[in-house]
A and B are shown apart, each in its own frame.
Chain A
């Protein structure tokens, strides 16, 4: 069974940067450009008998935003960690993320090493 890292951001620049930062985890990485795209890809992953190791998600995205994604994802997976990676720094928004089921919140800019350490903490 494969365990996937799912990277969700509408910016290709951020998706590629995150993928490069997490390459040394040695896990397959799937990119999604919004929350709905991620749910579709996660459904396929689980349908193939594989699993999600961790999701790294932006908040402000078209179609389905990060908070909506986390709430929907929690209906199909209660345990896989979701770490938010965003420019949003407002306390209210961070609290909403926590209530929706996020495991952590990283305010950009991020350093590749720091992101990797956070992911290592959650993914054994």
Chain B
């Protein structure tokens, strides 16, 4: 993540890269660029705290849905990281609302035929199970998106990006991130027994 104080927005800007998340109660912006990946913002209106995540579910989710799927658990884990940081700032899921962006059919990443559709399916089903309303969604298309999220009021500014050459660093980082998620998708955590 990159923090910039000197910018034309006039507020601190936290730029998150593919695979990263950030939650804050500061008067700031959190920004990212997504192509294939999903950008999800969460806003707790009671606490006036928000968070943004940029991630991918590395594979195709089976017909059983996200609760019975090994690949989906990676997506759930990513959302848990963001949720945990928001809870540490005093948030409660009951007051959260989501906005979802990305899952674009961009040329540079073609790991699996249904990757993009599967990511869209994942994020919709996840918030349905979590009973968190989706306030806005802007998914699919064949372009990338630049997202600026204001965590104090939940406002998202979205810009469609047509000129890829301007964002080549992000494009390369997203490609590397997606490939690494595919390589590590069967990872498991750690078990520590005290007794």
Contacts and interface: CB of A to CB of B under 8 A. Distances in A.
B66 A62 contact: no
Contacts of B131: 12
Interface string B56-85: 000000000011101001101100110110
Interface residues of B, number: 31
B84 A88 contact: yes
Contacts of A61: 87
B189 A11 contact: no
A105 B76 CA distance: 19
Interface in B82-100: 83-84, 87-88, 90-93
A110 B190 CA distance: 8
B195 interface: yes
Interface string B168-194: 000000000000000000011111111
B195 A10 contact: no
B87 A10 contact: yes
Interface string B148-173: 00000000000000000000000000
B9 interface: no
Which of under 10, 10 to 19, 20 to 34, or 35 or more describes the interface residues of A? 20 to 34
B130 interface: yes
B80 A114 contact: no
Contacts of A20: 67-68
A86 to B, nearest CB: 8
A60 B130 contact: no
B87 A103 contact: no
Nearest to B190: A107
Interface in B105-153: 126, 129-131
Contacts of A13: 66-67, 76, 126, 129-130
8 contacts: A11-B80, A14-B76, A16-B129, A62-B90, A87-B80, A106-B190, A108-B77, A121-B193
Given A10-B83, A106-B189, 12 more contacts: A11-B80, A12-B129, A13-B66, A13-B67, A13-B126, A62-B91, A62-B92, A63-B92, A94-B192, A104-B193, A107-B191, A109-B188
Closest 9 pairs (CB-CB, A-B): A107-B189, A62-B92, A60-B84, A105-B192, A60-B87, A107-B190, A104-B193, A109-B77, A13-B129
